[in-house]
Amino acid sequence: MERKLVGIPASPGIAIGPVHLLRWEVPEVRHRIIGDHAIPDELTRFRDALERAKERLRQIRERVESSAGPQEAAIFDVQHSILDDPVLRGEVEDLIRQNLGAEKAFELVMYERGQQFARSAHPMLRERVGDLKDVEIRVLTLLMDLPDHDPVDLPKGANAILVTHDLTPSLTVQLDRDAIAAIATDAGTRTAHVAILARSLGLPAIVGLRTATQELTGRETAILDGSTGLLAINPSHNEIDDYRERARQEAVAEVELRSLSVLEAVTTDHVRITLRANVDLPEEAELAASSGAEGVGLMRTEFLVVGRAAMPDEDEQYRAYRRVVEAFDGKPVVIRTFDVGGDKLPVGGFPTEANPFLGWRAIRMCLDQPEFFGTQLRALLRAAAHGDVRIMLPLVVSLDEVREARALLAKAARDLDARGAQFRADVPLGVMIETPAAAVAADTLTTDVSFFSIGTNDLVQYTLAVDRGNANLATRFTPMHPAVLRLIQQTVNVGNAAGLDVAVCGEMASQPLMAVMLVGLGVRQLSVAPRSVPLVKRIVRGISVEQATRAAQAALAAPTAAQAEAELRKHLTDVQKDLFGDIGVA
């Protein structure tokens, strides 16, 4: 039967193919009592399953390392260390010696571990629950001789639409791009990290579908349109033909857009807009550089630490930063210091927190751990010897934080000097404006920073008190809310008056209509996902600052987000069809 599900558009592109339903769930385990004589065999069976699970993890790790890179592969180190944990193994073996079947014994011990973590509201521990769950599924599958259903086991060329509840980092990095054409999840929002990663991988994606895994059986065919959020189940032949044609047009448009990469991002009234790329993984650097981006406006560094069993040392970090710097050949590369915590989870050792988004994260955690932070700062200063590196601090709320970070940066330079290392000391230091505190009191920061970069993902979250990752709140997460627009306007005014560069690097800058809004508010630097660079460039080249300013001022005066957007559109009607009409901007 033909059906349509609508979720949140997370990564553009059209895919048509069979649904692959991934239920990565713990299987039901029977309570089985074994006789004393059977204990030795049961112990052997359990140990053997652990070894086979480790071997399986090793294979996956190798495959991921060659397809996605060493950072992604390191995600599996945590799972490997769980399998290697002698305490956990001992607890299971004790239960087996008390005549419990291996599956139940293992399940009970994993359940207890999971409970310890799940009782805390801290996302880092929730993430560990994810790792525990992955390990539990893997071992039980082996113990119970169940079919192995990792996403990577799809045949090459399957062109499947992967439908799953949520994508853990460990599942995401296993996705075989030759088998999977698109992703659809029940959970998540546009700014959740799974969505950001799908865009990095260039896979069309819809998130926040809520009930897709319940409604589908895995025997359907579907069309997934990542620009509109539509998942059409068992579509008619006509519909399939329609979407094939749209996909073809999108491909043509993309080639056309790519040809813009050599042109300047300049408005019709000759105002130059600097267009840079957001880079989430060092592996993306080359693609980003060929997109026509004039440097990197935001390099996220969390992928160096998330899901790892051990912290990357200074040399490993230096190599990752240097790769991006060299790919951009002298163009500015803004590297953000670790923004761990919240929904970005670090190597273990985090305390339990009731409100992680308001917790010990990002710059707070770095300043409280000068050794950890110092390693990153030294790696950054060394990478700066190879190009135009600029350092950016996340989640700043006060000048004290900037000053403390500056003192640690000076110390990092002294340490490198004493070591005789090659580095650059005079690296510009800037801040993300992503809390209402930083935006409202932006004037207090201007004396000590070289630039502002507005992080609209968090600015919207903190201003509107709307969790950016909660699918139930997705329609309430709106950058066009008057409070958000006013904070952006104020930050731009303060930055411009102080002669600072003011950029926007949140997702807002990647959305065509919003990009016009930002230009109209006086923003002259935008940093967007690499694949959005040509699209945003085309928008910039199609509008005048004069028109964008008029539209933005009208939007700014509106009392609601919906009215602000309507005003914006009204003032852009003459360019709207030309610019936005054929590129799926709803």
The rounded distance, in Å, linking the Cα atoms of 503 and 297 is: 8
Q: Site size for ligand PEP, by CB under 6 A?
A: 11
Which of 339, 353, 401, 501 touches ligand PEP (CB under 6 A)?
A: 339
Is 341:369 a contact under the CB 8 Å cutoff? no
Is 22 or 363 the residue whose CB approaches Mg ion more closely?
363
Alpha carbon distance 92, 102 (integer Å): 8
| Among ligand PEP, Mg ion, none, residue 276 binds (CB under 5-8 Å by kind) | none
Number of CB atoms found within 10 A of residue 148's CB: 12
> Cβ of residue 582: shortest distance to ligand PEP, in angstroms?
28
| Site for Mg ion contains 7 (CB under 5 A) | no
| Binding range to ligand PEP, per CB under 6 A, among 24-32, 218-226, 263-271, 456-464 | 456-464
Work out how close the CB of 338 gets to ligand PEP at its nearest, in angstroms, rounded to a whole number. Answer: 11
Residue with tokens 């390990």: 135
Q: Indicate whether 284 belongs to the interface with ligand PEP (CB under 6 A).
A: no
Pairing of strands 501-504, 160-164: unpaired
388 binds, among Mg ion, ligand PEP, none (CB under 5 to 8 A by kind): none
Q: Residue 242 is encoded by which pair of tokens?
A: 């329609």
Least distance from ligand PEP to the Cβ atom of residue 347, Å = 18
Give the helix, strand, coil percentages of the chain, each rounded to 5.
Answer: 55, 15, 30
Structure tokens given for 190: 């546009």
Using CA atoms, how far apart are residues 26 and 132, in angstroms rounded to an integer? 11
Check residue 73 for interaction with ligand PEP (CB under 6 A): no
Is residue 520 part of the contact set for Mg ion (CB under 5 A)? no
d(CA 480, CA 363): 27
CA proximity to 160, closest of 141, 182, 144, 143 = 182
The residue range among 86-94, 96-104, 202-210, 433-441 that interacts with Mg ion, by the rule CB under 5 A, is: 433-441
Binding of residue 297 to ligand PEP (CB under 6 A): no
Binding mask 2-41 for ligand PEP (x = CB under 6 A): ----------------------------------------
**In the complex, minimum distance from the CB of residue 455 to ligand PEP, in angstroms, rounded to a whole number:** 3
- CA-nearest of 69, 527, 469, 536 to 299 is 527
What 8-state DSSP symbol labels residue 358?
A: G
Which stretch, 151-159, 343-351, 457-465, 490-498, contacts Mg ion (CB under 5 A)?
457-465
CA quadruple 469, 474, 476, 481: dihedral, nearest 10: 80
Q: Which of residues 458-497 bind ligand PEP (CB under 6 A)?
A: 458
Bridge-partner residues for 223, per DSSP? 16, 232
The total of other beta-carbon atoms located within 10 Å of residue 465's CB is 8
Q: Should residue 382 be labelled a site residue for ligand PEP when binding is judged by CB under 6 A?
A: no
Contact predicate 398/418, CB 8 Å = no
**d(C-alpha 69, C-alpha 62), whole Å:** 9
**Smallest distance, ligand PEP to C-beta of residue 47, A:** 42
For residue 457, state whether it binds ligand PEP (rule: CB under 6 A). yes
State which of residues 42, 93, 284, 458 lies at the interface with Mg ion (CB under 5 A).
458
505 is catalytic: yes
538 touches ligand PEP by CB under 6 A: no
Chosen from Mg ion, ligand PEP, none, partner binding at 525 (C-beta under 5 to 8 Å by type): none
Nearest distance from C-beta of residue 156 to ligand PEP, angstroms: 33
- DSSP letters for 404-451: HHHHHHHHHHHHHHHHT----S---EEEEE-SHHHHHTGGGTGGG-SE
- Answer yes or no: 193 catalytic: yes
- Determine which one of 20, 122, 165, 193 is catalytic: 193
Q: Decide which of Mg ion, ligand PEP, none touches 300; Cβ closer than 5 to 8 Å per partner kind.
A: ligand PEP
Question: Which residues here bind ligand PEP, judged by CB under 6 A?
Answer: 191, 298, 300, 339, 434, 455-458, 505-506
Which residues form the catalytic set?
A: 193, 505
Question: Which residues here bind Mg ion, judged by CB under 5 A?
Answer: 434, 455, 458
